[in-house]
Structure 1
Amino acid sequence: MIKELRDRGYKLKYLLTAMGMSRSTYYYELGRTDAVALRNTGLSAEIRRIYDENQQRYGVRRITAELHNRGFEVNHKRVQRLMHDMKLLGKRPKEKYYSYKGEVGKTADNLLKQDFISDTPLEKWTTDISQFNMGWGKCYFSPILDMCGNEIISYNVSLHPNMEQIKDILDKAFAKFPKLTGLIMHSDQGWQYQHAYYRTELEKHGITQSDVQKGELP
């Protein structure tokens, strides 16, 4: 406080008198504060380095562990404070959403046989659902992707993995491409993709369904 007021033009002797502090104590504390700031500068730089090296995914505890590996003696609370000051937030990785609930409808054969490359647009599409754990809860991201160039045809972000989400991505895709011939739609055997609505919509638009079989890699 004294340093800040002094920077605003107030005389030191009056500030020390008002605070009941001696001049020697002031300069001792000032030096200690500067030393801590200097140490934090080096630590902050190393935190930033670790954060960037790991694609900005590391949070407080993983960065603290890595600092220990690099010889820094620091606790997680200090790392947390510095990361907060630098506005560094570890990204929460997406998690695979397992929607398989057994055979609740009809499934299809795997027509792609791990051939996920296409030289022609509107030949092979794929869809899936990924779960993201956020600080406030979970959300679910569902895209339709064209395997030619990995173009996102449509997508939906929802708080619940339900059929409304599937209807939305299909409606958006078919609004863009109302006429499709010879297209394959590939997915896992999640309950959404076994649903009668999903299968009927694909058939209505001339799309052939393809599913990853249980035990196969997606």
Structure 2
Amino acid sequence: MVSYLCELVGVSRSGYYRYFSEEAQLNRQARDEADEKVKKIILKAYNFRRRKKGARQIKMTLENQYQITYNLKRIRRIMKKFQIICPIRKANPYRRMAKATKEHRTLPNLLNREFKQGTARKVLLTDITYLSYGKGKRAYLSTIKDAETNEILAYETSDKITLDIALNTLKKLKKTGIKLAEGAFIHSDQGFHYTNPQFQKMVKKMGLGQSMSRRGNCWDNAPQESFFGHFKDETDFKTCESLEEVKREVQSYMTYYNHYRGQWNLKKMTPAQYSHHLLQVA
């Protein structure tokens, strides 16, 4: 019977008996115990800062945060073995719609990471991030930042991530009456909002140029990403129960950030002070 079954599954008799030998069972037990230890370490990286990650992010987090080096093959094996799954983002319906209509247009990267050009209100950075609050609620924040002074010139908070959030941010910038520098342009990623013909039309109407990051390259808009990072570290939306409370917290932080939070690389001035300083020198 053993010979027949081994032949059926393509295993040699010696291999079959070796698999069930005491030595083999002890080796498998030792390997499982070692894998359990590795799993615990990988889970620390997987849950670091409460953000679930894929194998590559786990590898970088282990190296940067815990000084532990595992190769990708090992990480992926452990993830598969213990069903550690990274959530896969759903396709953006707006992006699908943009591709279908073929009306949306990407633009070249005029900025090329030259964020500091010595002139206030010339290079404007824009992006949108999400804000989690209450019990599973989500709001969205759109900002326009002066890359030279780090000042937030305009922002919009909404419970929807439709085109209006980007358009309203532009309208608020215009409403401030801020005088922009000659040759001013706005830089963003290639998101649906910024490739939209309505957004691009409004940008032109305001006399601004428009620039876009390369696809999937967050470093092309790094100062904006950095602001969102500090913003989320220094605000607390857990106790907010309504969108109005979220808006008040955002407004409070923007006032603090622009007028009270000194920055080392701005000669220890606040963004508003540094902007005033540059405009006075000019």
TM-score normalised according to structure 2 size: 0.40
Q: Which residue number corresponds to residue 203 of structure 1?
A: 204
Match of 2:169 in 1: 169
Work out whether residues 178 and 205 of structure 1, in 8 Å CA contact, stay in contact via their aligned partners in 2.
Answer: no
**Whole-Å separation in 1 of the counterparts to 2:151 and 2:179:** 18
CA distance in 1, matches of 2:155, 2:211: 19
The aligned residue for residue 135 of structure 1 is 134
Computing the radius of gyration from Cα coordinates, the structure with the larger value is: 1
Identity %: 29
- CA-CA distance at 1:117 after TM superposition: 1.7
User: What secondary structure sits across from 2:95 in the alignment?
Assistant: coil
The whole-number CA distance in structure 1 between the counterparts of 2:148 and 2:207 is 19
The Cα of 1:178 is off from its aligned counterpart by 6.8
Q: Of the candidates 95, 100, 118, which is equivalent to residue 101 of structure 1? A: 95
- Correspondence 1:16-35 to 2 at 5 A: none
Measured after TM superposition, the shift of residue 200 of structure 1 is: 0.5
In structure 2, C-alpha distance between the alignment counterparts of 1:187 and 1:200, rounded to whole Å: 15
Q: Cα deviations across residues 116-162 of structure 1 (Å, max 9, x unaligned)?
A: 22321121001000112223311111110011210111101111111
Provide the rounded CA distance (Å) in 2 between the counterparts of 1:148 and 1:178: 15
More helix by percentage: 2
Per the alignment, do residues 215 and 169 of structure 1 end up closer, same or farther by CA in structure 2, a change over 3 Å counting?
Answer: closer
SS at structure 2 position matched to 1:143:
strand
Aligned length: 124
Q: Is the CA contact (8 Å cut-off) linking 1:179 and 1:205 kept in structure 2?
A: no
How far residue 214 of structure 1 moved from its aligned partner, in angstroms, is: 1.0
Distance across 1 between alignment mates of 2:204 and 2:186: 11
Distance in 2 of aligned mates of 1:114 and 1:179: 23
Q: Post-superposition shift, 1:176?
A: 2.0
RMSD (CA atoms): 2.5
User: After superposition, where does 1:121-200 map in structure 2 within 5 Å?
Assistant: 121-136=120-135, 137-177=137-177, 180=180, 181-200=182-201
| Counterpart position of 1:30 | none
Structure-2 separation of matches of 1:182 and 1:170: 17
Whole-Å separation in 2 of the counterparts to 1:138 and 1:182: 36
Which structure has the highest strand share of the two? 1
TM-score, normalised on structure 1? 0.51
Q: Distance in 1 between matches of 2:215 and 2:184?
A: 23
State how far apart, in whole Å, the 2-side matches of 1:153 and 1:107 are. Answer: 24
Do structure 1's residue 213 and structure 2's residue 214 form an aligned pair?
Answer: yes
Alignment partners' CA distance in 2, 1:178 and 1:195: 24
Q: Which amino acid aligns with 1:200?
A: K
1:106 aligned counterpart, secondary structure: coil
CA distance in structure 2 between the aligned counterparts of 1:101 and 1:167, rounded to whole angstroms: 17
SS in 2 for 1:129: strand
Q: Deviations over 1:25-65 (max 9, x none)?
A: xxxxxxxxxxxxxxxxxxxxxxxxxxxxxxxxx89xxxxxx
C-alpha distance in 2 between matches for 1:160 and 1:147: 26
* 1:59-92 Cα deviation digits (max 9, x unpaired): 9xxxxxxxxxxxxxxxxxxxxxxxxxxxxxxxxx
